Amino acid sequence: MRVPGSRIWAGIAGVLLAGVVPLGCSTMGTQATATNPLIVPSAEFETVWMACITTVDDYFAINNENRLQRKIVTAPTIGATVLEPWNGDSVGFKERLESSLQTIRRFAIVTVNPTATGTFAVKVEVYKELEDLARPEKQIGGRAVFDNTIPVNRARDVVGPVPVPIGWIPRGRDTKLEQVILAKIKAKLFL
């Protein structure tokens, strides 16, 4: 038995899926992979440092930049979902889908070290973490039967700062985002 209009709904679903799949995939493109650390043939530290700062700032909020240690550390950022195509920290549809279905955050550590040949080595490390909660937030008791012996709690939720999560599970490095950041640094330095 055919459902009236099923071809129309299948067509709409196909158009929506075709519009969603390219999200994030176009940010990687067919670029060649850059070596990590990236060797920059420049004698000016300031030029390399500013290219790293402006590139990393496109993806993360910078938490600490230390010129003496030659290190940039970013604040953790919640991963972009399928519904946030303007954020580029989730590279590829698989990463965006994962960030849509569970809470993933990323942070980056970038170091700019001089080499023996007078060039600079830019190393980008992006780490990915999964949120670890003891139980779902705002979970109710989960009872099948109401217990009338306990008085009703009439307290309201206070609107304010978000509570600090219990913990995060390390998921390793995000090499796809590292490659995108290295490619942007390379383009800014005209390499």
Residue type, 112: V
- Is the preceding peptide bond at 37 cis, omega within 30 degrees of 0? yes
127 bridge partner residues:
107, 173
Residue type, 9: W
Q: Is residue 71 one of the residues assigned to a domain?
A: yes
Q: Is residue 141 one of the residues assigned to a domain?
A: no
Share of the chain above pLDDT 70, in %: 66
User: What CATH number did the domain enclosing 175 receive?
Assistant: 3.30.530.50
Q: What is the pLDDT of residue 52?
A: 94
Does the pTM surpass 0.75? The reply is: no
> In the predicted model, is pLDDT for residue 23 greater than 60?
no
Range of the domain at 75: 34-135+166-191
Q: Is residue 29 one of the residues assigned to a domain?
A: no
Q: Is residue 73 one of the residues assigned to a domain?
A: yes
Averaged pLDDT for residues 132-151: 63
Q: Is residue 18 one of the residues assigned to a domain?
A: no
Q: Is residue 5 one of the residues assigned to a domain?
A: no
Q: Are 89 and 56 in contact (CB under 8 A)?
A: no
**How many structural domains does the chain have?**
1
The single residue listed with the structure tokens 């913990």 is 167
Q: Is residue 13 one of the residues assigned to a domain?
A: no
Q: Is residue 87 one of the residues assigned to a domain?
A: yes
Six-digit token pair at 164?
């600090």
What are the DSSP calls for 149-191, one per residue? TSPP--PPPPPSSPPPPSEEEEEEE-HHHHHHHHHHHHHHTT-
